[in-house]
Amino acid sequence: MNPVLDVRDLRVEFPTAAGALGVVDGVSFDVGPGETVALVGESGSGKSVSSLAVLGLLGRGRIAGGSVSFRGEEIAGAGPERLRRLRGAEIAMVFQNPMSALDPLFSVGDQVVEAIRVHRPVGRAQARERAVELLREVGLPDPERRMRSYPHELSGGQQQRVGVAMALACDPELLIADEPTTALDVTVEAQILALMRRLQREHGAALLLITHDMSVVARMADRVVVMYAGQVVERGTVAEVLSAPTHPYTRALIGSVPTVHTGRDELLTVIPGSVPNPADVPDGCRFHPRCPQAVERCRTEVPPVVRTGEGRISRCWLAEDAGRVPAPTGAPGTGAR
Ligand SMILES: Nc1ncnc2c1ncn2[C@@H]1O[C@H](COP(=O)(O)OP(=O)(O)O)[C@@H](O)[C@H]1O
Ligand SMILES: [Mg+2]
């Protein structure tokens, strides 16, 4: 089946005083109809920038190379009018902070009604009916009354339920959720993830889920794209990547899954060191200064992208040395679907 979203060799740059700074460097992945693909990596890996590039929301940044194809249509470099129609109606977004999607000055009902009417030629009464139905679908108790609530009167979990309702308002083909549960406590997180999984099945939407948490990947995704320092370092089905990771960074992420006991904020300290600044990426493999398995070659030579199985790739000299064949550049490598 043709992918809903097909990102190939994406490069994104931001202007700086010292010239253009590349923060996303040759990223490729795709998302099939009804499929959930996770982009995972520590903070600063380029996950958000990659997804914002899809929606044409880069601000001062720009797509410096590659392609973004949505249902076969090239949308990298699409005009502002096309991108406006795309956002909300065909591709919807759920953010980490639900308040970034909600306006504190308007009632929940007015905002959901507006989200429906912006893209649909329906009357007010009909949109209102649909809004109540959506709030019920996302599990808000007493939706008729909730329509009149203001965002600040809701808990964080309830706000995110409204965020999900607004994202689903126009039955998008693709939902992009950027750390949708990172701001919530673990119990509420589990509820919101279960809700998203159920609604995605019912609506048949493709889901691009961004997270730093491998346990979220394990619970939610069909395939996973592991990002480090603006590049994809490993990609494959969740079942295969989690049971037999081929990149040391993937192994480190799996080993640093936060538990209820350790608390989620400890994740960043579990892998020693930090993601390099894009202006100062290490020579050779970008992960080598933090890699427990790095050998001399890793410090000086850029590792090739190696095909490690059906639909799987790894950007690591160890995978190459294991006798695997280099993958063609920019190939989606998704034969697993
Ligand atoms: N508007 C911007 N201008 C300059 N650099 C940016 C901008 N937004 C993000 N970056 C840089 O791009 C890199 C990737 O950021 P981001 O995609 O937000 O990471 P992630 O979502 O994986 O945490 C980071 O080094 C970040 O500092
Ligand atoms: Mg981010």
Residue 313 forms part of a structural domain: no
Q: Ligand 1 centroid vs 44 CA: distance in angstroms?
A: 6
Same domain? For 188 and 267 the reply is yes
For ion ligand 2, residues whose CB falls within 5 Å: 48
Same domain? For 110 and 13 the reply is no
Same domain? For 35 and 54 the reply is yes
Q: Which of 7, 42, 43, 48 to mutate to test the pocket of ligand 1 (most atoms within 8 A of CB)?
A: 48
- With a 6 Å cutoff on the Cβ, whether 268 touches ligand 1 is no
Same domain? For 37 and 84 the reply is yes
Same domain? For 8 and 61 the reply is yes
- With a 6 Å cutoff on the Cβ, whether 41 touches ligand 1 is yes
Q: Which of 49, 58, 231 to mutate to test the pocket of ligand 1 (most atoms within 8 A of CB)?
A: 49
Same domain? For 61 and 208 the reply is yes
Give the β-pairing of 19-31 and 36-40: unpaired
Q: Are 75 and 86 in contact (CB under 8 A)?
A: yes
> What CATH number has the domain bearing residue 246?
3.40.50.300
Atom of ligand 1 nearest to the CA of 41: 22
State which residues form the domain around 35.
1-90+173-283
Residue 41 forms part of a structural domain: yes
Residue 268 forms part of a structural domain: yes
Domain boundary among 116, 145, 169: 169
Mean pLDDT of 325-332: 53
Same domain? For 269 and 185 the reply is yes
Q: Which of 23, 62, 225, 253 to mutate to test the pocket of ligand 1 (most atoms within 8 A of CB)?
A: 23
**Alpha-carbon separation of residue 63 from 25, 60, 72, 98 (angstroms):** 10, 10, 18, 27
Domain boundary among 283, 308, 328: 283
Residue in 333, 54, 58, 48 with CA at minimum distance from that of residue 172: 54
Q: Ligand 1 centroid vs 81 CA: distance in angstroms?
A: 25
Is the pLDDT at 202 greater than 60? The verdict is yes
Residue 307 forms part of a structural domain: no
DSSP notation for 4-41: SEEEEEEEEEEEETTEEEEEEEEEEEEE-TT-EEEEE-
Residue 210 forms part of a structural domain: yes
* Three-state secondary structure readout of 297-322: HHHHCCCCCEEEECCEEECCHHHHHC
- With a 6 Å cutoff on the Cβ, whether 49 touches ligand 1 is yes
Q: pLDDT-derived band of residue 193, with 50, 70 and 90 as boundaries?
A: very high
Same domain? For 205 and 219 the reply is yes
Query: 211-228 pLDDT, tens per residue?
Result: 999 999 999 999 999 999
Residue 332 forms part of a structural domain: no
Q: Ligand 2 centroid vs 178 CA: distance in angstroms?
A: 7
- Could you give the count of Cα atoms lying within 13 Å of 252 in the half-sphere of its Cβ? 25
Residue 58 forms part of a structural domain: yes
Q: Ligand 2 centroid vs 259 CA: distance in angstroms?
A: 21
Report which residue type is found at 322: A
Same domain? For 248 and 123 the reply is no
DSSP 326: B
- With a 6 Å cutoff on the Cβ, whether 159 touches ligand 1 is no
Query: 64-120 pLDDT, tens per residue?
Result: 999 999 999 999 989 999 999 999 889 999 999 988 889 999 999 999 999 999 888
Q: What is the mean pLDDT of the chain?
A: 91
Same domain? For 140 and 231 the reply is no
Domain boundary among 283, 301, 329: 283
Same domain? For 31 and 15 the reply is yes
Same domain? For 84 and 220 the reply is yes
Mean pLDDT of 232-241: 98
Residue 6 forms part of a structural domain: yes
**Higher-confidence position of 36 and 255:** 36
How many domains is the chain partitioned into structurally?
2
